[in-house]
Structures are given as structure tokens and as C-alpha cells.
Structure 1
Amino acid sequence: MTTLLLFTDLDGTLLDHHSYDFQPAEAALRSLKTFGIPCIINTSKTFVELISLRQALEHQDPFIVENGSAVYIPKHLALRSDDALEDCGDFWRKSFGPHRDQLIALTNDKQNSFQFTRFSDMTCQELMSITGLNEENATQAMQRDFSEPMLWVDSDSALNVLRAELAPFDVQIQKGGRFAHLMGKECDKAHAMMWLKGLYQKQSNSNSNIHTIALGDGENDIGMLRQADVPVVIRSPAHTPPKVPNRSDAWLTESCGPEGWAQAVNVWLKQHGFVDKNNT
């Protein structure tokens, strides 16, 4: 028996890089629901952002926020963990990193040596101007719990220097499609993905084969892509596709964003014998 799991980034992947639209992927999303295949969001976005977006997507599966900082499991699912989970209303939460306040404190004196602007340094209007988000969505994006995004305008070599300075404090920096993200050392999309995969393994049985596909477009998706059985790099209109080390089998979509996402998902479903006649 094989259980299929899909893990996906949002911005520039399931959502269009510029407009945040997901319409080209709607039919493929319906196919996943038809066949009972979990579509697990694995994003740099916040819990608050995901609540409203999940309603638009009609999403009922677990989701991972702030680049692997925490996993939220809807209570209606039969997923159980031996780890202690936090009660967050309709969800159980497993967190992996320090609170945002600690990350801000560690970088308060770094702006004298490096060129960057943190979310905590920006006004809502400034973030709206940078991202194109409306006021409501920009406000939600600023409500973070475990990570601190930075608009990095310095060099890549300078970013590596800052990484080295923060490493003794168990803090890392992951570069996404638009921002560099400060977070705890244990916060990682791949780590959160594998933890959640383990829960699905327990839910089925030890003999079940868990087969995963992961889709992403940024540097912060590389770890997730490397751990997946099928890694899919979504082509971006804004940057060159990230390389997935030691994975010569990685897919690269022809189309960008949600159109490329849908094409890859449909190919993957057909490979496993799933053909949705309503997905045209």
C-alpha cells in the first residue's frame, strides 16, 4: 500500500509571484481532494495569513508556517503524535524554534555592519509597497511568532558572514524568493516535512509506503525538495531556478507559478494511476 503526500510552497509556487492568484491550480487542487491526497502547505507565511488563505483554498489538511517553524494539525484529523503539542483552538501545534523577540534582539546591532531591513523595522505601508500586498494581508504578514524576515540589500557574501555570526546562537538565515528569514536552527521546511510524514506513517501502518512530492521555487525550499521522493522546482519570473544538490531527478516546470504547479501535479497523479475526468 502506498500513501501519497504533497508538500507545497505558496508564493511563486501555488500562488502567482506577482498577483498571488491560484486560479490556474484550482482544478489540480480539486483532483487532490477527489483522490484523498493531502496537500500540505509548507510556507514562510504566518499562521494568521494561512487562516484566511486556507478558507479561499478550501484547505483542510495540515500546514507548516514560517519556513518550518511550526506545524499546525487540524483537530478533525486522526493524526497523533508522541510529542507534546500545544492546543491552538481548532489546531494542535508543534513548534521547533525560538520566539521572534529573541531573533530581533540578536540582530539589533547588526544593521551597523550589514544592509537589511527587518519586518519589525517597517511600517505596514512600506511592506505593502515592497510586496504589493493589500493592507489586510500586509498586517497579517507582520504578525509573526517564530521568524523575522529581512529585506536583504547587501551581498551574498555579507549574508554568509551574518550567518556565521548568528550560528553560535542556534539561529540560521534562509533566503526565500523575496526575503531572507531569520529563524531557529531547528526550523526548516525539510525537518517539519519529515516530522509530519512520520505522523502519517504512524496513522497508516509500518508496512505502508509513504510517497512524497514537494514543489517550491526558492532557496528556502531546497531542503524540502531534497527530502521528497519527487522534487519539483517551479520556474519563476523573478529569479533563476534553485539547484537541488545531489538530485539529478528533480523536475523543472516549463510554466511559472500555479500553472507550472498544476502541470507537475497532474503528471504526478497520472504516474500513480489517478486520472480525474473532471480536471480538464
Structure 2
Amino acid sequence: MTSLLIFTDLDGTLLDHHTYSFAPAKSAMLSLKTFAIPCIINTSKTFHELLSLRKELNHLDPFIVENGSAVYIPKQLGLDIQEPLEDVGEYWLKTFGPKRKELIHMTDDQLDQYTFQRFSDMSVDDLIRVTGLSEENAKLAMQRQFTEPMLWTDSNQALQSLREHLKPFGVQIQKGGRFSHLMGEKCDKANAMLWLTKLYQDQLLEDQELITMALGDGENDIGMLSKADIPVVIRSPVHVPPEIPNRSDAWLTDDYGPKGWAQAINQVLEKQGIL
């Protein structure tokens, strides 16, 4: 028997880049629920941002926050977890990196050398102006725990220089759709996906095969896409689709955002003989 496990980015993928709507994907999402196929959110968003969004999506599966920095597993799923995890109310928490305060401290002395603005340097109004988020959602986006996004307005060469400076401290910079994210070197969407994939594989019988499908649109999705059995690049209205190294089988959707997401999901369900 074959089981399917979906990993999806949000902004520009399941959510429209401009409007944050997921309406075109509702039918495909319902199909996943109907066939009990887990759909793991793998996003740069924070735990607090996802609380209300998961209610809108009627999302009950595990979710990965802040670009692979942590995994939240709803206790109600009753998954058999063999390693000790942090108990945070309704969830089990698996973390992969340092706290946000450390990341901010490490870049304080770099503000005079490069042109960038961290979330911690912004007001709520600044973030609203940059992202178009509502005031409520902007406040939630600022409640980060494991990463620090930067609005990078310097050159790509300067960004690489900062990367080299931070590398000895075990810190990396991942470039997303709007922001570049300071985070621990082991914090990565792919690492979190692989950890969670193994957890789901451990729940299956020996003769069951687990196939992973990943969908994303940005540079920070490349690792996740490269490690999935079925990598799907969602076409973006604002940037060139990322190339997935050594994966000639990666799909590029015809449509943008949630509409392309739905087409890819439906195509895989049909190919697997589920639909």
C-alpha cells in the first residue's frame, strides 16, 4: 500500500501572494481531508500567525514554523513519538535552532555595515506598509520565537558577505519571498520535513510505502522541494521560479498561487489512483 504526505509553503503557494486568499484551493484541500491525506504546513510564519489561519483552513495536521525552526504536533493525532519533545499545551514541540534574542544580538554590530531592517527594528506600521498585512496579523507576525526576518535592501554580494560573517556562529540566512531570514544553521524546511516524514513512516506497517509531495514558490523552499519524492514549484507573479538542483522531475505549475496548488494536488491524486 502507498500513503501520501503533503508538505506545503503558504505565502505565494497555498495563499495568494497579493490577497492571501486560499479560495481556489478549497476543493483540493477538501479532497485531502476526504482521503485522510496529511497536509503539513511548512512556512516562514510564526506559531501565533498560524493559530487563526489554521482555523480558517480547518487544518488539523502538524505544522512547521519559521522556515523549519520548529515542528508543532497536535496531541489529538495520537502519533507514536519515540523521542522526548517539549509539552506546549495542545501540542508537542520539536525545535531545531537558537532563540530569536540570540540572532538579534549577533547582528546588532552589522547595522552600520549593511543596509537592512530587521523585524525588531520595525514598528507595526512599518510591517503593514511592507507586507499589506492587517494590523492584527502584523502584530502576530512580530511574535517570533526562533528566527529574525530582515528586509534586505543591500546587494546580493553584501548579503553573501553577511552570511560568511555569521557562519562561524552557526547562523544562516535564508532568502524568502519578501524577507531574508536569520536562523540557526540546522533550521531548514527540508530538515523539518525529513524529521516529520520519518515520524509518519514509523506509524506505517512494514509493507506500506510513504510518498512525499512538496509545494513551494521561493528560494527558501528549494531544500524542501529537492528532498521530496514529488517536487512542485508554484508559479509566482512576482519572481522567477527557483531552480531545484538535480531534480529534472520538478514540476512548474501553469497557474499562480493557490490555483496552481490545486491543479498540482488534483493531478497527483489522479496519478496515484486516489481521485
Scaled by the length of structure 1, what TM-score is found?
0.97
1:115 maps to which residue? 115
Q: Is residue 247 from structure 1 mapped to residue 238 from structure 2 by the alignment?
A: no
Where 2:220 maps in the other structure, the secondary structure is helix
Amino acid at match of 1:250: A
User: How much does 1:79 deviate?
Assistant: 1.6
Deviations 1:116-155 (A, max 9, x none): 1000000000000000000000000000000000000111
2:97 maps to which residue? 97
1:140 maps to which residue? 140
2:131 maps to which residue? 131
Amino acid at match of 2:174: Q
Where 1:41 maps in the other structure, the secondary structure is strand
User: How much does 1:2 deviate?
Assistant: 1.2
User: How much does 1:271 deviate?
Assistant: 0.4
2:19 maps to which residue? 19
Counterpart-to-counterpart distance in 2, 1:202 and 1:231: 22
Q: Is residue 236 from structure 1 mapped to residue 236 from structure 2 by the alignment?
A: yes
Amino acid at match of 2:187: C
Unaligned runs of 5+ residues in structure 2 are none
Amino acid at match of 2:199: L
Q: Is residue 212 from structure 1 mapped to residue 212 from structure 2 by the alignment?
A: yes
1:278 maps to which residue? none
1:190 maps to which residue? 190
Amino acid at match of 1:177: G
Deviations 1:178-236 (A, max 9, x none): 10000001100000000000110111134321101000000000000000001000000
Mapped contact 1:79–1:203 kept (Cα < 8 A): yes
Q: Is residue 33 from structure 1 mapped to residue 24 from structure 2 by the alignment?
A: no
User: How much does 1:239 deviate?
Assistant: 0.3
Counterpart-to-counterpart distance in 1, 2:28 and 2:175: 28
Q: Is residue 264 from structure 1 mapped to residue 254 from structure 2 by the alignment?
A: no
Amino acid at match of 1:36: A
Scaled by the length of structure 2, what TM-score is found?
0.99
Counterpart-to-counterpart distance in 2, 1:253 and 1:20: 18
Amino acid at match of 2:97: G
User: How much does 1:82 deviate?
Assistant: 2.5
Counterpart-to-counterpart distance in 2, 1:207 and 1:108: 53
Runs ≥4 in structure 1, deviation > 6 angstroms? Answer: none
2:173 maps to which residue? 173
Unaligned runs of 5+ residues in structure 1 are 276-280
What root-mean-square deviation, in Å, do the aligned CA atoms of Structure 1 and Structure 2 show? 0.7
User: How much does 1:78 deviate?
Assistant: 2.5
User: How much does 1:168 deviate?
Assistant: 0.4
Counterpart-to-counterpart distance in 2, 1:106 and 1:80: 38
User: How much does 1:3 deviate?
Assistant: 1.3
Deviations 1:59-100 (A, max 9, x none): 000000000000000001122322221111110000011000
Mapped contact 1:78–1:203 kept (Cα < 8 A): no
Counterpart-to-counterpart distance in 2, 1:66 and 1:80: 25
Amino acid at match of 1:270: E
1:81 maps to which residue? 81
2:158 maps to which residue? 158
Counterpart-to-counterpart distance in 1, 2:209 and 2:165: 41
Range with greater deviation from structure 2 (150-159 or 187-196): 150-159
User: How much does 1:157 deviate?
Assistant: 1.1
Amino acid at match of 1:191: N
Where 1:33 maps in the other structure, the secondary structure is helix
Amino acid at match of 1:24: P
1:274 maps to which residue? 274
Counterpart-to-counterpart distance in 2, 1:84 and 1:64: 18
1:201 maps to which residue? 201
Where 2:68 maps in the other structure, the secondary structure is coil
2:46 maps to which residue? 46
Identity of matched residues, %: 64
